[in-house]
Amino acid sequence: MQIESLKVFCDLAESESFTKAAQINGVTQSAVSQQISALERLFKSQLIERSKKQFRMTREGQVLYEYSKQIIQTFNALDSQLKELKDIISGTIRVATIYSIGLHDLPPYIKKFMASYPTVHIHVEYRRASQVYEDVLSNVVDLGLIAYPIRDAKLETVPLRKEPLVLICHPQHPFAAQKSIKLKALDGQKIISFEPDTPTRKALDRILREHGVEVNHVMEFDNVETVKRAVEIDAGISIVPEGTIITEIEKQTLAAVTIDDGQFFRPLAAIYKKSRVLSPAMKQFLTILKGTV
């Protein structure tokens, strides 16, 4: 029996999906099935109830999962400690990020990290916020990058920074001539919004309600790039992270206006599963993301 087989079994137990377990470990679904069958032969016990439509472990499978999880955590901690003693920073870091962070905030940090640790490969996937949480919890990725982090007992949250939010509009819009604006001025305005289930949209809706502002949501999108394109054709105004509009401001395809009402920002954070042992590479990557080096 190899440690890899126990890891595959744990990933299957936590993701409840042969497809995801195969994806996490870079093997085929058939290989996952074969490794589970090999474990069942070794322990002379059925681990998965295959007759059920929904994934379900047997009592023996649950016991094996609990012990295997401890074995894998101990092995990963040992591997990490030995690498730190040898000063080895290598391997692969799998990151899931929301679009706005991945496209605009993350690239300079990856560039800085790769310059210091060229033997580490960073694999980045762009996902909706809900999918980032799902991928982290199911071990599909090592780290998640999100805005407005949600508390979860299974997750460790690493605050990164607070990113200013600004109002954007077409350069010919009346707001474009102003350096700053009160939220109350948005009352009745046509707004290009993020979709209702996104954390940034939820936060903005809450802020507008607190200030007694009612807006007209004329369009809703799941990513900031499409929001910007709609504002560029003067379909409405929007509120977006300041770092996402640097190019458009330089090209003068959008105008940005500061919002006066209090501290108007969105918190960014990295998340990882509490049971995950951080490799030396992951520790260094988090250090650079926090801007402490």
pTM listed for this prediction = 0.78
pLDDT tens for 24-38 read 888 899 998 899 988
Is the pLDDT assigned to residue 115 strictly greater than 90?
yes
Are 146 and 129 within 8 A, CB to CB? yes
pLDDT in tens, 17-71: 888 889 888 889 999 889 998 888 988 898 888 776 778 889 998 999 888 888 8
Q: Is 186 exposed, middle or buried (0-12, 13-18, 19+ CB in 10 A)?
A: buried
d(CA 110, CA 87): 20
E strands, the chain, where? Answer: 91-97, 120-126, 143-147, 155-169, 180-181, 190-194, 216-221, 238-241, 255-259, 265-273
**3-state SS, residue 175:** helix
**What proportion of the chain, given as a percentage, has pLDDT over 70?**
97
Residue that wins the pLDDT comparison between 106 and 15: 106
All domains of the chain in start order, with CATH: 3-85 (1.10.10.10), 91-160+267-289 (3.40.190.10), 162-266 (3.40.190.290)
Provide the token pair at 197: 């289930």
In degrees and rounded to multiples of 5, residue 145 shows phi and psi of: -120, 120
